[in-house]
Every structure is written in structure tokens, then in C-alpha cells.
Amino acid sequence: QLQLVESGGGLVQPGGSLRLSCAASRFTLRYYAIAWFRQAPGKEREGVSCITSTGGSIKSADSVKGRFTISRDNAKNTVYLQMNSLKPEDTAVYYCAAVNCAYYKDYNSATSWGQGTQVTVSS
């Protein structure tokens, strides 16, 4: 089974940037579409952005368009989420998972979840 590991979270001030990484172990990531999800305290997990296996198609939630960019480097077996202009409301645990990008907004459709990485945006 595909195993994913997220990293790159931390504490950042509003307006700052972070880059999250989602690395695969045991299996190659190149055959999977991968999405980033996030879950804030007391809220449901939500899809943030998704990239197809070749990187040819990307979908993003309206709340992050123009600020977050998903990308992948299949040679490094890694998917990234570049987050710019961060806001306090972006504070959440961020997860990556394998999913069909057509359904990335439904976290129940995702599999092979990582353990998550905490992102805190605060002054």
C-alpha cells in the first residue's frame, strides 16, 4: 500500500510562506493523483488542491487560488504545496492522500493518508 509522509509545516506570520512536501515510501508516486487536504480544529477535513499523476491537470479550492500552488517531481517521488500570502484561517493540519482529482473535495474518496503536518499562521 502506498505510504505518504508530509513535512514542512510550522509557525509562520500572516503574509508569510511555507512549502509542504508529500513523499512516498515503498511505492512510486508517479502513477497516483495526489491531493492536499486540511483540517482546522472543530471543522471538517477539506480538499485544498489536487494534481494528476502526470501533473497535466490541477484543481484548487477557491479559498487558496492565487496563493497556493501544487506541483510534483516524480523523479523525487514527491508532491509539493507552495503556500504564499498565508492567513490565520489557513491554520490547520495538512494531509496528503491519493485520490481521483475529480472527487478531491470529498475526503472520503481519498486513500493512503499521511500523518499530517501542522501549519499555524499567527503573529
pLDDT digits (tens, 9 = 90+) for 29-82: 899 999 999 999 999 999 999 999 999 999 999 999 999 999 999 999 999 999
Which residue has 481519498 as its cell numbers?
110
Is the confidence at residue 25, as pLDDT, over 90? no
Is the confidence at residue 99, as pLDDT, over 90? yes
Q: Residue 111's pLDDT is what?
A: 87
Burial of 55 (0-12, 13-18, 19+ CB in 10 A): middle
Q: Residue 118's pLDDT is what?
A: 98
Cα 50 from Cα 83, distance rounded (Å): 14
Is the confidence at residue 95, as pLDDT, over 90? yes
pLDDT band with cut points at 50, 70 and 90 for residue 2: confident
Average confidence (pLDDT) over 100-113 = 91
